[in-house]
Structure 1
Amino acid sequence: MEYQLEELLPVTAGLAEKFTSKESSSVTYETAQMLMEAVIYCINECERDGGFALRSGKGLRAMEAYQIGYEKVVKKAKKAKAVYDRLTADFEDYGCSNYRDTLIIGMPEFFLRYDARFCPQDHILTLDYPAMNSSREDSGVRLIYEYLCHVEAEKRFLDCFDRRAVTDLMRNLEEKQEIYYMGNICSLVLFQSIGCFVTKKQLSNLILTRTDTEEIRRFFLDDTVEQMEDKLREMIGFMVKQAGLSGQQNYFQKEGKEFAVRIHNAIEYDVMDTLFLI
């Protein structure tokens, strides 16, 4: 975005009039800052999704860019709600209170309180349940929409497994670590699935034995971390395709890098039995 401050101020002033319902000619510094951020957020949304050449004097005027961006923000909020409705239509929390509380208790607050006009940059929630590979670099409805799309894809992957198998896997980990699980359920299941894939066990059951961990160790024993990652990305890609998620393949395959490091370290320090749940 290359608008100058003098181009943004009239847009912000107009928004301030709406904010005060024209009953006041001034707002607090904090409110003015919030409204300026709202203007910039919407203009960035216009630039990001519209592909406009937003250059002062050469493209859209700031007011036009803001209005287009605002309309896109409103549409994205509606799209986010549609994703959320699909996600929660047959929601299963697998006994993970953090997962349930974030999506079932917390998320409705976003749709109730989100202010696309005056504070679109505020996503309101802390999103305590982590999606895989979430960077959290964005904000507002962009962050919420991306988060819900990722969690929905993860849910579709989890739906391929027996509910009890996923629940038992998480409970076993909680008993082992003596703490409630606060991590990502899909990442946990995906990692255990790798062990099942290597040992040719039934993926949906997620059951491994001590003998299986030795077989997994031998499978990766002579590989570098990079070679492990290549193998893992290939296996993850296959499983994701089987789950009907070819379009999200790259999203899931990003886990391969972390998985490779974990397996490499487990082999180096001879702790494979602690890496997978048996």
Structure 2
Amino acid sequence: MNSNAAIAAFLNPDEIQDVQARLLNMLSEEILRYTGYESNSVPVETAQSLFESMLYCMTAYLNTLPDPYAALRALDLQQIFFSGLELVRQYVTECRQLLKKVKATRVQTELIAYNHTIDVGIKEFFQSYDPRFHAHEGACTIDYPLCQDDQDVTGVLYIRNYLMELLEENEFCAGYGKNYIRALLLTHGVRHHLDYREMLMNIKELILEQK
């Protein structure tokens, strides 16, 4: 579900119309901020992206509340947006800490996708991520597949989920020796006529298949 649909899910049709009007006023302010207060006009694609970023922050915040439906009525939309923006920024900080833990617990393996994702791919996200204007995006190269991967979310929420799951997988794999894991990968590669180092294979999943 996209952010626009998520907001709408909390409202009835009349409320949706009212909220959309207020959101458009907020979007005008975001466009001015985006252009450094030099213009209130941007390409349609840019305006759509700014709008989606705004909704992303708001939805992220509302989803942390016990009753998003009530909050959307009780709180000012601008307040919800700023609370969401602050939350998204906190998630970025949390992800930096999660990445440190992932590196500290990493599996000692020659699997290229695994190492590249940890050492390069996630780093690309932090270099390019813009919580204010492009919160719903987040360009990076993540090649390593997780055992369980939630691809219904984007932006920092996806990176946060990915790192939390990868950390759990690292801790699981810590119960198995480096040579055991290498042997599993090597055997799998031979079976499928592949260089195991280049496989897009999840290590935890491969271990579980042996049980």
Normalised to the residue count of structure 1, the TM-score between the two structures is 0.66
Could you report, residue by residue, the CA deviation over 1:217-268 in whole angstroms, capped at 9, with x for unpaired residues?
xxxxxxxxxxxxxxxxxxxxxxxxxxxxxxxxxxxxxxxxxxxxxxxxxxxx
TM superposition shift of 1:133: 1.7
Q: Which residue of 2 aligns with 1:39?
A: 54
Could you report, residue by residue, the CA deviation over 1:131-174 in whole angstroms, capped at 9, with x for unpaired residues?
11213011111111001000000000111111111011101111
Q: Which residue of 2 aligns with 1:129?
A: 144
1:176 partnered with 2:182: no
In the alignment, the residues of structure 1 paired with residue 83 and residue 22 of structure 2 have an alpha-carbon distance, to the nearest angstrom, of 16
Call closer, same or farther: CA 1:54–1:12 in 2, change over 3 Å.
Answer: farther
In the alignment, the residues of structure 1 paired with residue 50 and residue 132 of structure 2 have an alpha-carbon distance, to the nearest angstrom, of 9
Q: Which residue of 2 aligns with 1:66?
A: 81
Q: Which residue of 2 aligns with 1:211?
A: none
RMSD: 1.7
Point out where structure 2 has 5 or more consecutive residues left out of the alignment: 1-6
Q: Aligned with 1:49: secondary structure?
A: coil
Q: Which residue of 1 aligns with 2:203?
A: 185
In the alignment, the residues of structure 2 paired with residue 150 and residue 164 of structure 1 have an alpha-carbon distance, to the nearest angstrom, of 23
In the alignment, the residues of structure 2 paired with residue 154 and residue 145 of structure 1 have an alpha-carbon distance, to the nearest angstrom, of 14
In the alignment, the residues of structure 2 paired with residue 13 and residue 56 of structure 1 have an alpha-carbon distance, to the nearest angstrom, of 23
Q: Which residue of 2 aligns with 1:206?
A: none
In the alignment, the residues of structure 1 paired with residue 150 and residue 193 of structure 2 have an alpha-carbon distance, to the nearest angstrom, of 28
Bigger shift: residues 109-118 or 8-17: 8-17
Could you report, residue by residue, the CA deviation over 1:64-105 in whole angstroms, capped at 9, with x for unpaired residues?
110001100000111111000111135335111111112211
TM superposition shift of 1:55: 5.7
Aligned residue pairs total 193
Equivalent positions of 1:1-278 (< 5 A) are: 1=7, 2=11, 3=16, 4-54=19-69, 58-179=73-194, 180-192=198-210, 194=211
Q: Which residue of 1 aligns with 2:4?
A: none
Select the structure with the greater relative contact order (CA < 8 A; seq sep ≥ 6): 2
Point out where structure 1 has 5 or more consecutive residues left out of the alignment: 195-278
Q: In the alignment, is the contact (CA less than 8 A) between 2:102 and 2:167 conserved in 1?
A: yes
Call closer, same or farther: CA 1:134–1:186 in 2, change over 3 Å.
Answer: same
Q: In the alignment, is the contact (CA less than 8 A) between 1:46 and 1:72 conserved in 2?
A: yes
Q: In the alignment, is the contact (CA less than 8 A) between 1:52 and 1:59 conserved in 2?
A: no
Q: In the alignment, is the contact (CA less than 8 A) between 1:157 and 1:186 conserved in 2?
A: yes
Identity between Structure 1 and Structure 2 (%): 24
Call closer, same or farther: CA 1:181–1:93 in 2, change over 3 Å.
Answer: farther
In the alignment, the residues of structure 2 paired with residue 142 and residue 124 of structure 1 have an alpha-carbon distance, to the nearest angstrom, of 13
Call closer, same or farther: CA 1:88–1:57 in 2, change over 3 Å.
Answer: closer
Report which of the two structures shows the higher radius of gyration computed on alpha carbons.
Answer: 1
Q: In the alignment, is the contact (CA less than 8 A) between 1:102 and 1:128 conserved in 2?
A: yes
In the alignment, the residues of structure 1 paired with residue 174 and residue 200 of structure 2 have an alpha-carbon distance, to the nearest angstrom, of 20
In the alignment, the residues of structure 2 paired with residue 5 and residue 77 of structure 1 have an alpha-carbon distance, to the nearest angstrom, of 28
Normalised to the residue count of structure 2, the TM-score between the two structures is 0.85
